[in-house]
Structure 1
Amino acid sequence: MSNLSYRKVLPFAAGLILIVILLSQYPPINQRLIWYREVTLAYVRGVIYPAGPVPTPLPQPTVAQAGTPAVAPSKTPIPTSAQLPPEATPTSMPSPTPLPGSVMLASPAWEKQDINNCGPAALAMYLRYFGWEGDQFDISNLVKPVREDRNVNVEELIYYVRTQAGWLNAEYRVGGDIQLLKRILAAGIPVMIEESFYFEDPFWPNDDLWAAHYQLLTGYDDAQQTFTAQDSFHGANHKVPFSTLDDYWKIFNRVYILVFLPGQVETVKSILGPDWDVDTNRRHALETAQAEAEADPEDAFAWFNVGSNQVYFENYNEAALAYDQARNLSLPQRMLRYQFGPFLAYFHAGRNQDLLALTEYALQRTPNAEEALLWHGWALYRDGDSTAAVEEFRAALEANPNYLDAQYALDFMGASP
């Protein structure tokens, strides 16, 4: 090609490249490009690290490991021992008023979730019910400032409401049931839950398709045996059968989030009864999980819930044994992207090799999971590799710059971010 031809082509090529760059900054196109990149990277990881089952428990030595460094891996000091608090004596509750056969609350303006943003999207719709005027990005910019972060915890959503919408009250409890959800809705209060979700298409070879999802419930119909959900993925006024919801909800210890006006505090207390007290609520959830595990010893999620509730009471050895049972029965591949009780249990039970195995598995599935990075760092520290531990703590803080436990870990190590 002649020099003249080059001079003609080069400006055209440069202009074309500039147009592509500018178009890639347009939010809808940029979001799609990020999604394609994430899908590609997930598939490549699945090829390099085949998605096998969650590792089963390792054989335990009969003699405890000596020389384990003492550390409380949290910004909050952790007691050295704890027992279940004494059973609270519930106050007598009036006979419940019969519930209506159906309830349909006003539906807030529906919002389609951004990538990995069902929690902020569901919460945005929840707050909008009470007149809030923001959107999911107002929430995600605080609780998950890195867009590729794949998980938002219940505690992070509660934190947002309490710090950014302080004119509303926010609480969460576990161990709910279908009747409780109906009572809350009948009182005129929507309720948000975390539950299972199944992808239509695999992200890697042998993908089990399981993930987590938040949705906002705004009604129910006994005749149809369905809830009405404002679902940021499936759409507004999405119908969910009672039985399906309970099956999907159980995997997350039947956690539920309540946002309500200050004038509704007594109403919420009346609905929850003894479960208004957080310790009592956890004890009830533990009893439910234990009963379900006893009724069906092959139920991995019942055992997992036993472990999670034992972690709350800082009974880490008991929690670790319950998680052992769940792991032996098999758990979803992405489970440790969303639930981190096993990391705490094995750390505090002194089972460092199990902690290493689980965090390494979790990071193969989700390399930027700040919780797995943090606990992998503590496992490395326990293993005597302080340098590698600091790098993991830094990676956790990079994955979520607002992650206080990662900053605490770096402070503990005397290291800079």
Structure 2
Amino acid sequence: MLWCAWSVAAAQPASVTLKNIRHDYQALNNCAPVTALTLLGYYGTQVTQAQAASAMKDYPGDPQVTSLELAAYLGRGGLQSVIRYAGDAELIRALVARGFPVVLQQRLQTGSNVAHFRTVYGYSAGQFLISDPLLGPSLRLSTAQLMTLWQYYNGEYLVAYPPAREAEVRQILGADFSAAANWQHLKLHGEQEVKARPKDPYAWWGLAKAHLRLGNVRAATESFDRAVSLGVPTMYYLYRQEAFEAWTQAGEHQKTLDVTQRALRVFPNSKELVGFEKLASAALRKAMSSLILLAGTRRASSGD
């Protein structure tokens, strides 16, 4: 299967810088609202950081806005979005060359556990031009730097576009425009990544997520368990909860409870963590009640 329509690559210019890229320096934990105003502004809709933050955050100071929440807010501004994985440098160039800024979710910097949205709006030989809500409107990363920071989130990218331009996005993404095909792509990518870096928990996480979305819960839980055993930092669970989904589907609720309770000591107001903690607690209470009832029934039948 051809994952992307790279026949367009030969016609790409050697360097591109998109115009009308609006930037604002973020307030604390506001990289998603700034990213929203950058994309909306590029396509002609003006919003402020405060307006975007008010609409996207669950409460003032909410440290986590997901890619799905960002896409939903952009939809209110008239843009469609696709969120995909296993992206690479050539794909970014192809999109930017056709006039589409690309949002990447990366780690903030090498060694940091903070997830961060960045918008790529230009490229030249061996480097990319990026609007970074924290580091400024003209951050330049080499291809190697960009790919290293991107591994943290398994090459996750978001492309937003006016509905009338969907055909262009479809052409550039090729098979990856289909979410189902992209999960297959991420699975193959993940298998290559864990082979190349078997001690990288984020590589195992990406493979696990692909298994989960493809419906292979057992393989997903095994890969998530490997990621956790290799040392996923507590902060990671604030941004990604797919392991809890897999453990819930597999009935392994104690794993979810243990991890969410640990993470909630650091991030007590995370609605995602609270939701999975409640779900696991309820499932474990139900299981315990069933065991007590079964034990009582057996005692009664034995005449004790």
Q: Does 1:276 align with 2:177?
A: yes
Quote how far apart the aligned CAs of 1:95 are: 3.0
Distance 1:219 1:250 in 2: 20
Quote how far apart the aligned CAs of 1:287 are: 0.8
Q: Which has the larger radius of gyration?
A: 1
Q: Does 1:127 align with 2:40?
A: yes
CA root-mean-square deviation: 2.0
* Residue matched to 1:351: 252
Runs of at least 5 residues in structure 2 that lack an aligned partner in the other structure: 288-304
Query: When the two structures are superposed, what TM-score results if normalisation uses the length of structure 2?
Result: 0.89
> 1:80-125 CA deviation, whole Å, 9 max, x = no partner?
xxxxxxxxx6699583342222111114231111211101111211
* Residue matched to 1:42: none
Amino acid at match of 1:101: A
Quote how far apart the aligned CAs of 1:152 are: 0.4
Decide whether aligned partners of structure 1 residues 334 and 93 sit closer, same or farther in structure 2, where only a CA change above 3 A counts.
closer
Q: Residues 90-101 of structure 1 correspond to what in structure 2 (within 5 A)?
A: 95-98=7-10, 99-101=12-14
* Residue matched to 1:149: 62
Decide whether aligned partners of structure 1 residues 92 and 326 sit closer, same or farther in structure 2, where only a CA change above 3 A counts.
closer
* Residue matched to 2:98: 187
Distance 2:187 2:276 in 1: 25
Quote how far apart the aligned CAs of 1:385 are: 7.4
Quote how far apart the aligned CAs of 1:331 are: 1.7
* Residue matched to 1:265: 166
Distance 1:366 1:107 in 2: 37
Q: Pick 1 or 2: higher relative contact order, CA cutoff 8 A, min separation 6.
A: 1
Decide whether aligned partners of structure 1 residues 234 and 146 sit closer, same or farther in structure 2, where only a CA change above 3 A counts.
same
Contact kept, 8 Å, 1:111 with 1:232, in 2: the verdict is yes
Decide whether aligned partners of structure 1 residues 229 and 93 sit closer, same or farther in structure 2, where only a CA change above 3 A counts.
closer
Quote how far apart the aligned CAs of 1:291 are: 1.3
Runs of at least 5 residues in structure 1 that lack an aligned partner in the other structure: 1-88, 200-207, 387-417
Amino acid at match of 1:341: E
Distance 1:215 1:190 in 2: 10
Amino acid at match of 2:128: F
- What fraction of aligned residue pairs are identical, expressed as a percent? 26
Distance 1:319 1:132 in 2: 40
- Count how many residue pairs are aligned between Structure 1 and Structure 2: 286
Partner of 2:185: helix, strand, or coil?
Answer: helix
Decide whether aligned partners of structure 1 residues 92 and 322 sit closer, same or farther in structure 2, where only a CA change above 3 A counts.
closer
Distance 2:285 2:223 in 1: 28
Partner of 1:220: helix, strand, or coil?
Answer: strand
Contact kept, 8 Å, 1:176 with 1:254, in 2: the verdict is yes
Contact kept, 8 Å, 2:121 with 2:130, in 1: the verdict is yes
* Residue matched to 2:124: 221
Contact kept, 8 Å, 1:285 with 1:309, in 2: the verdict is yes
Distance 1:193 1:367 in 2: 27
Amino acid at match of 2:138: N
Distance 1:295 1:288 in 2: 11
* Residue matched to 1:411: none
Q: Does 1:246 align with 2:158?
A: no
Decide whether aligned partners of structure 1 residues 93 and 335 sit closer, same or farther in structure 2, where only a CA change above 3 A counts.
closer
Amino acid at match of 2:121: T
Contact kept, 8 Å, 2:5 with 2:172, in 1: the verdict is no
> 1:341-367 CA deviation, whole Å, 9 max, x = no partner?
111111111111111111012112211
Decide whether aligned partners of structure 1 residues 217 and 94 sit closer, same or farther in structure 2, where only a CA change above 3 A counts.
closer
Distance 2:271 2:230 in 1: 26
Decide whether aligned partners of structure 1 residues 91 and 241 sit closer, same or farther in structure 2, where only a CA change above 3 A counts.
closer
Amino acid at match of 1:135: T
Quote how far apart the aligned CAs of 1:198 are: 4.2
* Residue matched to 2:27: 114
Amino acid at match of 1:151: Q
Q: Larger helix proportion, structure 1 or 2? A: 2
> 1:168-214 CA deviation, whole Å, 9 max, x = no partner?
22221111111100100111111111100149xxxxxxxx7421100
Distance 2:229 2:6 in 1: 44
Partner of 1:95: helix, strand, or coil?
Answer: helix
* Residue matched to 1:406: none
Query: When the two structures are superposed, what TM-score results if normalisation uses the length of structure 1?
Result: 0.65
Q: Does 1:176 align with 2:87?
A: yes
Contact kept, 8 Å, 2:22 with 2:41, in 1: the verdict is yes
